[in-house]
Structure 1
Amino acid sequence: MQITPLNPEDPVALGDFELLGRIGQGGMGQVFLGESLGGEPAAVKVIKPSVVDSESRQRFAQEIEVLKTIWGPRIAAFLGADAEAEQPWLATEYVDGPDLAKHVKTHGTLPSVLTAALGAILAEALSGVHAQGLLHRDLKPANVLLGPNGPKIIDFGLAAFTESSVSLTAPHQVVGTPVCMAPEQAAGVKPLTAAVDVYALGALLLFAVTGHHPHEAATPYMVFHLVTDPGTAPDLSGVPEELLPLLTGMLAHGAADRPSLTEVVQQCRSVIEARGMKIAQARRRLTAHTAEQRRHGPTAPADSVPTVARPAPANGTRVTETGPAEPETPAGAPPVSPTVVETVPGPAAPQAHDSPALSGTPAAVPAEPRDRPRGDRREQPQPGHRPSAVPGRPKEPAHTLRHSVQARRTAERLRTAYAAKAPF
């Protein structure tokens, strides 16, 4: 768990949530560990004051409406929000576990049977999302948290209503994360269908079992070129034979050639049952496996992720980044979406086989998290005592919160960790 104390300029409360520490940040905002009046832990996402404008508020409001609409045991629950506040904020269920990207980076890949269990769980969850008229559009390893009760999907900041004619995305814009993006999504084809989430889930499962993405290259532009080129097959090296038919179908270039999510669940079950195991047993083993590896620490070297310099846009292409270049997501944090919005020039969006319109269009790629200065220390409040008001902040309600057991343990770990690092 990567939690650091609040900075002096941080709010101490948002709505009815007391803020206990920082658990992640990005180009668009900051994610805090919060606690409700009743002691419920929450991940509270806040837009940075420097980027609060009408468009960011509108996108944030759309994310809030999406989260109000969807539900399910594999979706991080919506707890509260205020898009009109001076600092717009959104609170969701806090999942105490790493995201899939961090887990694979730290502990290595998943066994094939557990990858199949993960596939069945997430495909079923996405089916529920689609049944509510939504597409996720940005499913990736960083947006799946491996919690103590199993995996959960987070970050619906780019989700779209499939039947809606109202969108914050312009007609010639491409939205998503390139290494997990379906060819038609990368090419700017609209409207998108459920097949884009099938492809993204296939890319996620490929990463879970091999540690690499379907298409990787030195620059974002090259990734876009590989993804949209129908003659370039995805890299399925290292895929166990029993998962090869499933991932081949899910990563098919044509949307019509991919299986439905129901078929994905059935194929995942077949892989599990061929091992003489029931699906419920495999699900339990997946949760136990990830929890056990967390307890025993890293089993694979945590190599740093290189930062790729952004090339200059070509052909008049305008690139607007809506987040950072995808920092490592701390445990439990719904990341501020590190995806990009690409504007493709021309009178009409290109088809999946027509990639020149994307020429020179850079996209966000993973970047190393920034080091946090040790000198920025803040006195921690004692359990049961809310921090005093800071000049310039709204006065807090005159009441006392009873901290949950988890919050007290978190505060104690913070005090112990920072006391050990103190230079005096």
Structure 2
Amino acid sequence: MQITPLNPEDPGSLGDFELLGRIGQGGMGQVFLGESPGGEPAAVKVIKPAVVDSQSRLRFAQEIEVLKTIWGPRIAAFLGADAEAERPWLATEYVDGPDLARHVEAQGPLPSVLTAALGAVLAEALSAVHTQDLLHRDLKPANVLLGPNGPKIIDFGLAAFTESQVSLTAPHQVVGTPVCMAPEQAAGEKPLTPAVDVYALGAVLLFAVTGHYPHQAATPYMVFHLVTDPESAPDLADAPADLVPLLKDMLAHRAQDRPSLAEVVQRCRAVIEAYGLKIAQARRRLTAHTARQHGPAAPPSGPAPRTAPPPTVPFENPPATTAPAAPAAPAEPTSSADVEEPTPTLPAEPVPHEPTPSPVPDAPGHGAPPDDSHGKRPPAPGRPTGPPRHRPEPARTLRHSVQARRTAERIRAAYAAGAAFAPSRTP
């Protein structure tokens, strides 16, 4: 994720968070990279001064109250906020990685099996949000961050209670992203149901695997027309055959024809298992694939910021440039196609001469003569007095020498003789 220096007019801190650089901006405000007193990175969202009024403060306060109730391992965590400050701000967990839109634009669509893994992860995350009687309402590729520990959903600014007792928008006002918006949401229907997030997830997965959306047009108005027209089928061109049935059902025009999120998870698992993988393996492959394409965030560049130059974005476990090792867990069977470990090749063992143990165990050179220049022994007659010549060190092997093997055999014999389970010897 690209981070740029602070502008002279930017605040140096908000609440307890020191601001280090700029992450991005939207219609309502600016997003900064912040750091807590304990060094925790955060994405700090600030409302633009030009739009700070009583209505925007009220909506921002509602957004904060909604975010306080949302939790889950795939949801960027709420860290703090102040809607009454001169510049209202909101801090959430910082995810060091690109959003899905940038990844697909830079690296191309995801393979089918990784798209299915992404679908299972996001469907499960949205399902947890729905159990809290909330909807996201604006799921799109830009709101899916591909972090070093897997994808996470951000920006619940349009989230609303499913009972529609609380609304963050005015009556008959349609807010959201048209290319990922469900037909009933685009038509302004109320109340909305969890099916709107199912449709949006289908649009996100279609974009992830093909690079295009269900409906695309030259203007937002034309997109709205295509989305709300029951005769306009979603464009599934270039979608892999194993994902077409699921995507078609998720993008159904009528809300009641779409599958539940629990069904989406199971159908994504079926696609993954058809490749001979388990869901955990596919998830690790997804994270490794996106981490391999994007290294750590670059430090801010350009004119020096008003505050101290922001460092490289801190994070606890930097993303690897290759597939990370699987976390410690009960062993699961894997196929040779899933994990390929190089087999070490040892050089052929020479037949060595019986070495003389070195009188200095930690002397450099492993057996090279002691350095006469340090007075350890006088030079022999006729011996050169110049710098000592060191013979090249032989390649080490697991079986270093005959002496080492014999020493190991004596140690094993002594241990076996004293062990409680050693067989008794007859006199």
Determine if the TM-score, normalized by the shorter chain, exceeds 0.5: yes
CA, structure 1 residues 189+407, in 2 after alignment: closer, same or farther (shift >3 Å)?
A: closer
How far apart are 1:172 and its partner, in Å?
1.3
How far apart are 1:225 and its partner, in Å?
0.5
C-alpha separation between the residues in 1 aligned to 2:80 and 2:3? 22
Task: Tell me whether 273-282 or 166-175 shows the greater mean CA deviation.
Answer: 166-175
C-alpha separation between the residues in 2 aligned to 1:164 and 1:258? 21
Contact kept in structure 2, 1:75 and 1:153, CA below 8 Å: yes
Matched residue, 2:364: none
Q: Deviations over 1:297-327 (max 9, x none)?
A: 9xxxxxxxxxxxxxxxxxxxxxxxxxxxxxx
Contact kept in structure 2, 1:59 and 1:157, CA below 8 Å: no
How far apart are 1:26 and its partner, in Å?
2.3
CA, structure 1 residues 138+405, in 2 after alignment: closer, same or farther (shift >3 Å)?
A: closer
> What residue identity is the alignment partner of 1:52?
V
Matched residue, 1:406: 314
Matched residue, 2:123: 123
C-alpha separation between the residues in 1 aligned to 2:313 and 2:267? 41
C-alpha separation between the residues in 2 aligned to 1:167 and 1:204? 25
Matched residue, 1:212: 212
Matched residue, 1:294: 294
Contact kept in structure 1, 2:20 and 2:309, CA below 8 Å: no
Match runs of 1:4-403 below 5 Å: 4-295=4-295, 377-378=304-305, 380-381=307-308
Contact kept in structure 2, 1:96 and 1:147, CA below 8 Å: yes
C-alpha separation between the residues in 2 aligned to 1:46 and 1:64? 12
Aligned residues: 316
Contact kept in structure 2, 1:206 and 1:212, CA below 8 Å: yes
How far apart are 1:228 and its partner, in Å?
0.3
Q: Deviations over 1:339-392 (max 9, x none)?
A: xxxxxxxxxxxxxxxxxxxxxxxxxxxxxxxxx995x54355279xxxxxxxxx
User: Is the partner of 2:127 in helix, strand or coil?
Assistant: helix
How far apart are 1:76 and its partner, in Å?
0.1
> What residue identity is the alignment partner of 1:73?
P
Q: Give TM-score scaled by structure 1 length.
A: 0.71
C-alpha separation between the residues in 1 aligned to 2:262 and 2:160? 21
Structure 2 unmatched runs, 5+: 319-427
C-alpha separation between the residues in 2 aligned to 1:197 and 1:237? 22
Matched residue, 2:355: none
Contact kept in structure 2, 1:178 and 1:186, CA below 8 Å: yes
Matched residue, 1:353: none
Matched residue, 2:337: none
User: Is the partner of 2:81 in helix, strand or coil?
Assistant: strand
How far apart are 1:285 and its partner, in Å?
0.3
C-alpha separation between the residues in 2 aligned to 1:205 and 1:407? 28
CA, structure 1 residues 379+161, in 2 after alignment: closer, same or farther (shift >3 Å)?
A: closer
C-alpha separation between the residues in 2 aligned to 1:373 and 1:265? 42
C-alpha separation between the residues in 2 aligned to 1:404 and 1:139? 29
How far apart are 1:404 and its partner, in Å?
9.7
C-alpha separation between the residues in 2 aligned to 1:191 and 1:145? 28
Matched residue, 1:305: none
Among all aligned residue pairs of Structure 1 and Structure 2, give the percentage whose two residues are the same amino acid.
81
Q: Deviations over 1:236-269 (max 9, x none)?
A: 0001000011000000000000000000000000
C-alpha separation between the residues in 2 aligned to 1:217 and 1:72? 35
User: Is the partner of 2:294 in helix, strand or coil?
Assistant: helix
User: Is the partner of 2:23 in helix, strand or coil?
Assistant: strand
Contact kept in structure 1, 2:97 and 2:145, CA below 8 Å: yes
Pair member with larger Rg: 2
User: Is the partner of 2:231 in helix, strand or coil?
Assistant: coil
User: Is the partner of 1:214 in helix, strand or coil?
Assistant: coil
> What residue identity is the alignment partner of 1:15?
G
CA, structure 1 residues 102+90, in 2 after alignment: closer, same or farther (shift >3 Å)?
A: same
C-alpha separation between the residues in 2 aligned to 1:113 and 1:373? 37
Contact kept in structure 2, 1:76 and 1:153, CA below 8 Å: yes
CA, structure 1 residues 38+120, in 2 after alignment: closer, same or farther (shift >3 Å)?
A: same
What is the RMSD computed on CA atoms of the aligned residues?
Answer: 2.3
